[in-house]
Amino acid sequence: MIKIKGKSVCGGIAFGKIFVYSREQSTIKRCHIPSSEDEIARFEHAREQARAELEELYKKAVGEVGEANAMIFRIHQMMLDDMDYLESIKNIITDQMLNSETAVGLTCDTFVQMFESMDDSYMRERSADVKDVSERLVRILEGKSRSAIVSDEPVILAADDLAPSEIVQLDKNKILAFVTAGGSSTSHTAILARMMNVPVIIGMKDAFNPELHGKEAVIDGFTGTLYIEPTDTVAAVMQAKLRETEKQRRELEKLKGHPSITKDGKRIEISANIGNALDIETVIRNDAEGIGLFRSEFLYIENRGYPTEDTQFAAYKEILSCMSGKRVIIRTLDIGADKQINGKYPQANEPNPALGLRAIRFCLSRPDLFKTQLRALYRASVFGKLGIMFPMITSEWEIVKIKELIEEVKTELTKEGIAYSASVELGCMIETPAAALISDILAKHLDFFSIGTNDLTQYALAADRQNPEVAQYFNAHHKSILRLIHIAVQNAHKNGAWIGICGELGADLSLTETFLALGIDELSVTPSAVLPIRRKVLETDTSVVSDGLLNEIWN
């Protein structure tokens, strides 16, 4: 037996044969061309064909994994129109009189290098998309046909890495699990693979070994382990784990459609956090009661610049429409500190970015950009039940200023004859100690609060959420955090606002009883945590835990 460890992206157990996927390697032939005009025409022809192929893939993906997840192929199509990308290719053709394949290859290398050198992990992962689009163009230019992964029986697919387009081309009935040598858990590839709801392990350096092809294996997606030719004992343990997983899954499935009500009759809304329209499929599959946090920054990151009002409108409209009337809370742009959007945003080189011009502070310093987002949000508001939330609030004047800008936006829209909903809810994140402590004042202006425990912990405990050196100080269970949460809950309720938690702590099952006893109305968590939290809510009787708990927090 061989045991290989990697990083789990999606849990589950699967038994089957390994299929080592290797794609045809092509080395680009570099040659000089007689006419740059003819060569550009040849490139344009390939670009059109690539666009058509991506359209086909998009349609196939919509049917298989839903519109939101198919979006990656729209993004690839947009990349085919990226001005910087095209300009670089065409300049190489005209200035150096080189063939299109070489021009695409060189441009791809430059862009990949640029993305890979970025601090932001999301941007680093975009290099895979550049490679995917460029390889498609080169293949078309070389006149080669599309490759597909073929196997007669369901297999555990092992690859160095898989491009999103390769995943979509797979026959889903033939895939038991994925194991890849490279990859990262937030890449589009991982997202698409996760949507297929099969075990997925990445970063298994040794898995991509042609000698493993055809060997019997079992994958444990929970621990990120692949056993090749497992011993009888390991196989028996895995069979038992598989039966238990199935049982757990069936039990949780029964909770779908079930309202989340505590034993003492308190209704809790369990919503999902998303960072990307691609996540909506899992939100729906896990029966989330709404979206409690849509981190709108992704739109800005994907557009590699400020998205236009129309681009934003289309994205917000899609999310609201997909959620069919369930509440969708969209957080306005939250950049700065841990969420840098490299190269595009004119932020000063701040000595202490976590305490700098970030999130709402940046937006209030650029009302033009902020109003573009607000206009897009209000235009989209007629397509569902929208809540707008503001990040990093510390003072009442910020809310007053935001509301003035909102009034300006509404007046403009009315003048232009553009409809918007009159019942958009407004709320803010409670992610600074200041916001928690003046939540009585803030609540008078707002409909809801959502507690961002990631930043609240960072700011209350003066411990950088990014810095592993101070991990032991970043203790979200600290009494100070629970006290701040309690203060915010009481102030919200006294002033007629509802309050939820959207930070990572919201999914911590060891604190669910505490949160409910404190009076939290909503928990917004990663989609796969929705049903386990619902189970916990159904088991909880807040009247039993309340008194002792408050004593513990305050004494």
Catalytic residue ranges: 188, 502
Strands 225-228 and 216-220: antiparallel
- Residue 188 binds what, of Mg ion, ligand PEP, none (CB under 5 to 8 Å, by partner type)? none
Q: 353 vs 76, 340, 361, 363, 456, CA distance in Å?
A: 32, 10, 12, 15, 16
Residue 208 or 448 having the CB closest to ligand PEP: 448
- Report, in Å, the least distance between residue 547 CB and Mg ion: 32
Write out the DSSP string of 104-159: HHHHHHHHHHHHHT-S-HHHHHHHHHHHHHHHHHHHHHTTPPPP----SS-EEEEE
Judged by beta carbon distances under 5 to 8 A according to partner kind, the member of Mg ion, ligand PEP, none in contact with residue 389 is none
347 binds, among Mg ion, ligand PEP, none (CB under 5 to 8 A by kind): none
Q: 514: Cβ–Cβ under 8 A, 6 or more apart, which residues?
A: 482, 545, 549
Distance CA 513, CA 511 (A): 6
In whole angstroms, the minimum distance from the beta carbon of 455 to ligand PEP comes to 3
Among Mg ion, ligand PEP, none, the one that 426 touches (CB under a kind-dependent 5 to 8 A) is none
Q: How far is the CB of 441 from ligand PEP (least distance, A)?
A: 21
**Taking contact as CB under 6 A, which single stretch among the options 121-129, 310-318, 408-416, 446-454 is the one that binds ligand PEP?**
446-454
454 binds ligand PEP per the rule CB under 6 A: yes
Q: Cα–Cα distance between 509 and 261 in angstroms, integer?
A: 16
**Integer angstrom CA distances of residue 243 from 34, 77, 153:** 66, 43, 22
Chain center to CA of 271: 15
Q: Looking at 431, 447, 513, 522, which residue binds ligand PEP (CB under 6 A)?
A: 431
- Tell me if residue 376 falls in helix, strand or coil: helix
Q: Is 503 in the site for ligand PEP (CB under 6 A)?
A: yes
Instruction: CB nearer to ligand PEP: give 135 or 338.
Output: 338
Based on the shown chain and the rule CB under 6 A, indicate whether residue 279 belongs to the binding site for ligand PEP: no
* Binding residues for ligand PEP, total number by CB under 6 A: 10
Q: Is 96 exposed, middle or buried (0-12, 13-18, 19+ CB in 10 A)?
A: middle
Of all helices (H) and strands (E), which one includes residue 201? strand 200-202
Q: Which does 503 bind (CB under 5 to 8 A by kind): Mg ion, ligand PEP, none?
A: ligand PEP
* 513 is a site residue for ligand PEP (CB under 6 A): no
Closest approach of Cβ 20 to Mg ion, in Å?
Answer: 42
| 453 near ligand PEP, rule: CB under 6 A | yes
Quick check: 502 binds ligand PEP (CB under 6 A)? yes
Q: Looking at beta carbons only, is 207 or 502 nearer to ligand PEP?
A: 502
* 455 binds ligand PEP per the rule CB under 6 A: yes
CB-nearer residue toward ligand PEP: 47 or 295:
295
Closer residue to ligand PEP (CB): 384 or 503: 503
C-alpha span between 221 and 226 (Å, rounded): 8
Q: Which of residues 332-361 bind ligand PEP (CB under 6 A)?
A: 334
Q: Give residues in contact with Mg ion (CB under 5 A).
A: 431, 452, 455
Q: How far is the CB of 515 from Mg ion (least distance, A)?
A: 18
CB 11 within 8 A of CB 178: no
In whole angstroms, how close is the CB of 524 to ligand PEP at the nearest point?
A: 8
Q: Report how far residue 178's alpha carbon sits from residue 191's, in angstroms, rounded to the nearest whole number.
A: 12
In degrees and rounded to multiples of 5, residue 220 shows phi and psi of -110, 95
Q: What are phi and psi of 375, to 5 degrees?
A: -60, -45
Here the contacts of 170-174 (C-beta below 8 Å, separation 24 or greater) are: 172/64, 172/196
Task: Specify the residue, 86 or 354, whose C-beta has the smaller distance to Mg ion.
Answer: 354
- The separation between CA 372 and the C-alpha centre of its own chain, rounded to angstroms, equals 23
303 interacts with, out of Mg ion, ligand PEP, none, CB within 5 to 8 A per kind: none
Nearest distance in Å: CB 295, ligand PEP: 5
Instruction: Report, in Å, the least distance between residue 485 CB and ligand PEP.
Output: 12
Q: Cα–Cα distance between 365 and 189 in angstroms, integer? A: 36
Site residues (CB under 6 A) for ligand PEP, limited to 295-334: 295, 334
Q: Which residues bind ligand PEP (CB under 6 A)?
A: 293, 295, 334, 431, 452-455, 502-503
